[in-house]
A and B are shown apart, each in its own frame.
Chain A
Amino acid sequence: MEPFKVLIVEDSRATREMLAAAVDLAGGVEVYTAVSGFEALKVLPRHRFALIITDINMPDINGLELINFVKKNPNYRHVPLFVVTTEGRSQDRERGLQLGASEYLVKPFESETLTALVQRYLKR
């Protein structure tokens, strides 16, 4: 069976590796990573992703802008999207969910939480 492709957008190297490991643990997935919003925009059309996980605070475009882009684009709008961020500020959180994010995880969280969520969304 084809593995599910998961895209992780996160500018912190160590955090990215940790998220990738947590997603990997869900099983049956192939993890792709992007270090910035721009890189995500480049990778998006090249694969059919089953799930996108993004940070909010990034240097080029912010995560909200990425969510908006994904959710307004007919090619990607069906793809579930998680926000993983330190941005506990309620205004940004509200906006993320309004724009169509499925889950909003505030760092720090247990990596098991993410693994479980990935499994829940990617049930075959």
Chain B
Amino acid sequence: MAPPRALSEFVAEANEVLETLAHDVAVLDAQRGREPEPDLLNAIFRAAHSLKGLSGMFGQERISTLAHHLEDVLDALRLGKVLASDALLDAILDGVDVLTLMLREASGEAPSDETARRATALTETFVRLASGGQQTAVDVLDEVGLDPAIRSVFTEYEEHRLRENVKKGIALWKVRAVFSLDDFDQRLAGLNATLKPLGEVISTLPSSQPGDETSIAFDLIFGSPRPQHEIETAVQTMASVQPLTNKPVRPRLVSEPEPDAPRTRPAPRPPVFASDVSSPELTPLSSSSPSGVMQGAEPSLRSLAQTVRVDIARLDGLMNVIGELLTVRANIHRLADVARQAGATPLPKLWGQELQKEARALERKLDELQAGVLDVRMVPLGQVFDKLARLMRRLVRQSGKDVHFEVSGGDVELDKLIVEELSDPLMHLLRNALDHGVETPDRRIAQGKDARGLIRLKAQQLGNQVQIEVGDDGAGMDEGRIKQVAIERGLVTRELTDELERRDLLNLVFLPGFSTRKDVSELSGRGVGLDVVKTNLARLSGLIDIDSRRGEGTTFVLTLPLTLAIIRALIVGVADRTFAVPLNSVTEIVAVKPAELRTIERREVLEVRGQTLPFVRLSRIFGLQELPVERHFVVVIGLAQERLGLAVDALLGQEDIVTKPLGGRLKGVPGIAGATELGDRRAVLVLDVAALVEELKRPQAAVG
């Protein structure tokens, strides 16, 4: 029934719902062994439920059907009819994966039999799991005498929560509050926050008793073991508190058996890693038994939606700035009127001052607006980290290794674009840490290490850059093997490798064609290997470094700019031209005398603190006049692990620039990323550092 153009809207929203679902399921997963939190379970249920309804409305029957079965299981779980067993949690995790695959297929990817097969198997599993138990025979809500009028507005789930509270001997209260229509949602949130530490807010009922036109009353149905006066003290003047039930709830002894005890109350198992429980950032992974079942190809972790969800407060901030800009505009209009009316008579001095004041205000506000828009593009890395954690859990289980996976820094925010592009490279690095890094438990023990390995994914913000580390405490990289592989594959000559130090040998893994992995579909259906990781990062203006010690482990350090939209650039002059060089790829600037240059294999090189770098004149690249100089300014650019010295004639300063793509004749000129306008309105070309480095690596490059 949906018109075709609605498909993309469906995909975008379904994708958002799935992301929320995946996030919450990851949290649930991390709490394995504990009694799941009702709010969390309900949120997960709601997401599955929304997905079912949404896909149903858009004629996506496959997704709708699977979501429906998933919802049934989750419903049984939140209503306490079945236990949160490992099998059930695994099935839920799997369900999220298969739904993701299906959504990709719905949005145009070729359908795979594997997905269909997994869906069928899962449906059966869900049906089996959902039919676990039945309702309790005696309704405790009848026992406590709940007003049927109130009861009639509860959903089945809310009734279940009421029952759960009553069964535990927790009293039910009606907390009544009257708020203004304008801000009742914030006020309710405040009241909720006050009540939460004392118990569970089961339902929020807008009161049927009409207030006046400007206010509204709410009854919060609240389960709390605390005495009435304590709740009253907490809510102070915000609300009044009354018992909800006619008969008191009878407190039960903890040991008293419940009618359906074995079903509703799983015996709490000790958490897998007792020491990790206190820190929500840590995702414990356990992998005692390899499951043996290989799952199909993983979907690429990148999400489909080109949308960002934005906190209303951020948009409000932008609206404020725009409001202030409107004031500036009005003032400028007024000043323009004055100027027009003045005609030939000279304008008063005050006029000039006022105009200047407005110009400054305009500048300030535009800066704020720019910052605000950038802010809107920022999303937490956690969105990707959650997905990675989910996949890692499965990979670890399949590997038969014992690994603790530690994630931190998920709250660090980056441009949405960068975050999306990062997931595949990070997954590759994590997978390498598991495959090549962490040793088997036996070997670790033999080496005097802890049997359980550690893989760490960590993000932190450093100024306007973000550093992401993927580390393991495994074997470290084997430079001997790397050297051998590189020679075998004809990537380097033996003579050359003999001169290389460990650090440079390690960097050979970034060469195209190095990867030993044959099955390209194993990870993401794309070509894999560290060379691809490097290229992907380079596209994001990122750097990658290796820190690896034999026997101690390996850490890959990724350095990324916070955002791609606006970058700080170094403005340089060559002959009579000006260029902008993205500053995030500039590692340092040095001055060298022409005599200090050397020539190796017909290429000019220079030495910077013991490291030999290719030396390239920007003038030659673009066929500009070469001026004789006493000394060259060399801008050292670094991209991934490549370094390159770029000679320019003049350093003209730094500016924030927005790169605009080029059209027409200049489109596709290698080495040029686009154009930008400088503060003085001059249009200059922005160098594409990645392309330059790539171009100059090739032997036939226009270097000399």
Given contacts A14-B9, A14-B54, A41-B184, contact A108 B155 (CB under 8 A): no
A83 to chain B, nearest CB (A): 12
CB nearest to A111 among chain B residues? B1
In the bound complex, how far is the Cα of B124 from the Cα of A2, in angstroms?
Answer: 54
Q: B1 touching A13 by the CB < 8 A rule?
A: no
B454 to chain A, nearest CB (A): 38
- Give residues of chain A (2-23) contacting chain B, Cβ–Cβ below 8 Å: 11-15, 17-18
A93 to chain B, nearest CB (A): 11
Q: A73 touching B208 by the CB < 8 A rule?
A: yes
Q: List the B side residues contacting A108 at CB < 8 Å.
A: 1, 53, 56-57, 59, 64
In the bound complex, how far is the Cα of B53 from the Cα of A15, in angstroms?
Answer: 9
CB nearest to A67 among chain B residues? B153
CB nearest to B68 among chain A residues? A86
Q: B152 touching A86 by the CB < 8 A rule?
A: no
Binary contact readout A73-98 vs B (1 if CB under 8 angstroms, 0 otherwise): 11100000000011101011001001
Q: A73 touching B210 by the CB < 8 A rule?
A: yes
Residue in A57, A65, A85, A89 whose CB lies within 8 Å of B46: A57
- Give residues of chain B (1-18) contacting chain A, Cβ–Cβ below 8 Å: 1-2, 6, 9-10, 12-14
B204 to chain A, nearest CB (A): 5
Given contacts A60-B204, A61-B204, A99-B153, contact A86 B213 (CB under 8 A): no
In the bound complex, how far is the Cα of B3 from the Cα of A17, in angstroms?
Answer: 12
Q: A18 touching B2 by the CB < 8 A rule?
A: yes
Q: List the A side residues contacting B46 at CB < 8 Å.
A: 57, 59
Q: List the A side residues contacting B204 at CB < 8 Å.
A: 60-61, 65
In the bound complex, how far is the Cα of B181 from the Cα of A12, in angstroms?
Answer: 24
Q: B64 touching A12 by the CB < 8 A rule?
A: no
B134 to chain A, nearest CB (A): 15
Q: List the B side residues contacting A111 at CB < 8 Å.
A: 1
Q: List the B side residues contacting A95 at CB < 8 Å.
A: 152-153, 155
What number of residue pairs across chains A and B have CB atoms under 8 A from each other? 108
Residue in B6, B64, B152, B203 whose CB lies within 8 Å of A14: B6
In the bound complex, how far is the Cα of B155 from the Cα of A56, in angstroms?
Answer: 9
A68 within 8 A of B: yes
Interface size on A, residues (CB 8 A): 42
Q: List the B side residues contacting A17 at CB < 8 Å.
A: 6, 9
A51 within 8 A of B: no
In the bound complex, how far is the Cα of B206 from the Cα of A67, in angstroms?
Answer: 10
Binary contact readout A48-76 vs B (1 if CB under 8 angstroms, 0 otherwise): 00000000110111101111110111110
CB nearest to B212 among chain A residues? A45
B498 within 8 A of A: no
Q: Which of A12, A59, A64, A98 has the most CB of B within 10 A?
A: A12
In the bound complex, how far is the Cα of B206 from the Cα of A86, in angstroms?
Answer: 23
A47 within 8 A of B: no
In the bound complex, how far is the Cα of B210 from the Cα of A5, in angstroms?
Answer: 22
A120 within 8 A of B: no
Q: Which of B1, B46, B52 has the most CB of A within 10 A?
A: B1
B49 within 8 A of A: yes
Q: B153 touching A57 by the CB < 8 A rule?
A: no
In the bound complex, how far is the Cα of B207 from the Cα of A85, in angstroms?
Answer: 23
Q: Which of A14, A65, A66, A91 has the most CB of B within 10 A?
A: A14
Given contacts A38-B185, A42-B181, A45-B181, contact A92 B53 (CB under 8 A): no
B216 within 8 A of A: yes
Q: B56 touching A86 by the CB < 8 A rule?
A: yes
Q: Which of A17, A85, A107 has the most CB of B within 10 A?
A: A107
Q: List the A side residues contacting B203 at CB < 8 Å.
A: 61-62, 65
Q: A110 touching B1 by the CB < 8 A rule?
A: yes
Q: A92 touching B210 by the CB < 8 A rule?
A: no
- Give residues of chain B (406-465) contacting chain A, Cβ–Cβ below 8 Å: none
B158 within 8 A of A: yes
Q: A75 touching B152 by the CB < 8 A rule?
A: no
B335 to chain A, nearest CB (A): 40
B50 within 8 A of A: yes
Q: List the B side residues contacting A87 at CB < 8 Å.
A: 155
Given contacts A57-B46, A108-B59, contact A65 B205 (CB under 8 A): yes
- Give residues of chain B (200-245) contacting chain A, Cβ–Cβ below 8 Å: 203-210, 213, 216
Q: List the A side residues contacting B58 at CB < 8 Å.
A: 14, 18
Q: B57 touching A18 by the CB < 8 A rule?
A: yes
Q: List the A side residues contacting B206 at CB < 8 Å.
A: 37, 41, 61, 65-66, 69
Q: A12 touching B152 by the CB < 8 A rule?
A: no
Residue in A15, A59, A68, A74 whose CB lies within 8 Å of B57: A15
CB nearest to A58 among chain B residues? B46
Q: List the B side residues contacting A42 at CB < 8 Å.
A: 181, 184-185
CB nearest to A11 among chain B residues? B50
Q: A98 touching B152 by the CB < 8 A rule?
A: yes
In the bound complex, how far is the Cα of B53 from the Cα of A18, in angstroms?
Answer: 12
Q: List the B side residues contacting A45 at CB < 8 Å.
A: 181, 213
Q: B208 touching A72 by the CB < 8 A rule?
A: yes
In the bound complex, how far is the Cα of B158 from the Cα of A110, in angstroms?
Answer: 30
- Give residues of chain B (155-192) contacting chain A, Cβ–Cβ below 8 Å: 155-156, 158, 181, 184-185, 188
In the bound complex, how far is the Cα of B13 from the Cα of A16, in angstroms?
Answer: 11
CB nearest to A57 among chain B residues? B49
In the bound complex, how far is the Cα of B545 from the Cα of A110, in angstroms?
Answer: 56
Residue in A12, A57, A59, A66 whose CB lies within 8 Å of B13: A12
8 tightest Cβ-Cβ pairs between the two chains A and B = A72-B208, A86-B53, A108-B56, A69-B206, A68-B153, A14-B13, A14-B9, A107-B53
For the A-B complex with A11-B50, A61-B206 known, give 8 more contacts whose Cβ atoms are closer than 8 Å: A12-B13, A14-B12, A41-B181, A69-B208, A71-B208, A75-B210, A86-B56, A91-B156
25 contacts between A and B (CB under 8 A): A12-B54, A13-B13, A14-B12, A14-B13, A18-B58, A37-B206, A38-B188, A41-B181, A41-B206, A57-B49, A57-B155, A59-B46, A64-B152, A64-B154, A65-B203, A66-B206, A69-B205, A69-B206, A71-B208, A72-B209, A85-B53, A86-B56, A95-B155, A99-B152, A107-B57
